Amino acid sequence: DAGITQSPRYKITETGRQVTLMCHQTWSHSYMFWYRQDLGHGLRLIYYSAAADITDKGEVPDGYVVSRSKTENFPLTLESATRSQTSVYFCASSDGDRVSGNTIYFGEGSWLTVV
Amino acid sequence: QQPVQSPQAVILREGEDAVINCSSSKALYSVHWYRQKHGEAPVFLMILLKGGEQKGHEKISASFNEKKQQSSLYLTASQLSYSGTYFCGTGLISSGSARQLTFGSGTQLTVLP
């Protein structure tokens, strides 16, 4: 049971470079999410996707791009990395949209440092 | 709007009890609770729905007070394995979408032997 896998787990990049974080889930969940986690802020939603080819902005989308050509994959791209994007990034999935009863399952995280 | 968790941190001895609170200024439809250990992904504990439902998971239970827009997580007879950061995520009545699940900043729980 692979669940959600993220890659790379750890990445150091330079300011201005493009970085892509990969996310793959094996459950065929319709919804996928990208969160960033920073000390004192908890988990903040960057982007989410309701299905293949359907994406929408979350709370902190600036500087990020997502795509979802296949249900199982949801890559997150930092087009021009900045130091403020140093964070831990979590990909997540859920088999439903309604907050009423749908658990969100998280990947193990990608630690990104921008120098 | 981000829910407010309290306390921010708590240290207790094995066997002691703890309560973690999660409050919102907006009308809630649901509250989700997760636990995260250092360097790991958040792990689902339980979901509570509008209606004052109370749930339990082994020695961890939670309640949802609709009038106060608050949820409390109760950890009874704490075990060393309970250590970690606890997050609540709140879903608003104004939205039926998971995209509106907003997480608190977390409560760091440390259980000492």
Identify residue A32 by its one-letter amino acid code: M
CB contact A11 to B (< 8 Å): no
CB-CB under 8 Å, A58 with B99: yes
pLDDT for the residue A99:
47
Q: How far is CA B95 from CA A10, A27, B70, in A?
A: 35, 25, 18
Tell which of A43, A59, A94 to mutate to test the B interface (max B CBs under 10 Å). Answer: A43
Q: Mean pLDDT in each 10-residue stretch from start to end of chain A (115 residues)?
A: 88 97 94 90 89 90 96 96 97 72 86 97
Q: What are phi and psi of A107, to 5 degrees?
A: -80, 180
Sign (positive or negative) of CA dihedral A47, A3, B105, B21: positive
Task: With CB atoms and an 8 Å threshold, state whether A104 touches B43.
Answer: no
**pLDDT at residue number B50:** 75
pLDDT number for residue B55: 66
Under DSSP, is residue A89 helix (H, G, I), strand (E, B) or coil?
strand
Letter string b/e over residues A46-79, b meaning 16 or more CB atoms within 10 A of that residue's CB: bbbbbebeebeebbbbeebebbbeebbebbbebe
How many CA atoms does the CB half-sphere of A47 hold within 13 Å?
21
3-state secondary structure of A84: helix
Task: Look at the alpha carbons of A74, A80, A81, A85 in this order and tell me if their dihedral is positive or negative.
Answer: negative
State how far the Cα of A57 lies from the Cα of A40, in Å rounded to an integer. 22
Nearest-by-CA chain A residue for B50: A100
Q: How far apart are the first and last CA of chain A?
A: 36
Q: What is the pLDDT of residue B30?
A: 84
Burial class (CB in 10 A: 0-12, 13-18, 19+), A101: exposed
pLDDT at B93: 66
What pLDDT score does A98 carry? 55
A1 touches chain B (CB under 8 A): no
Angle value at C-alpha B4, between B21 and B83, nearest 5 degrees: 50
Which of A89, A87, A88, A78 shows the shortest CA–CA distance to A17?
A78
Say if strands B107-112 and B9-13 run parallel, antiparallel, or are unpaired: parallel
User: Tens-of-pLDDT digits for all 113 residues of chain B?
Assistant: 789 999 999 999 999 999 999 999 988 888 899 999 988 999 989 888 877 666 666 789 998 888 889 999 999 999 999 999 999 998 876 655 555 678 999 999 999 99
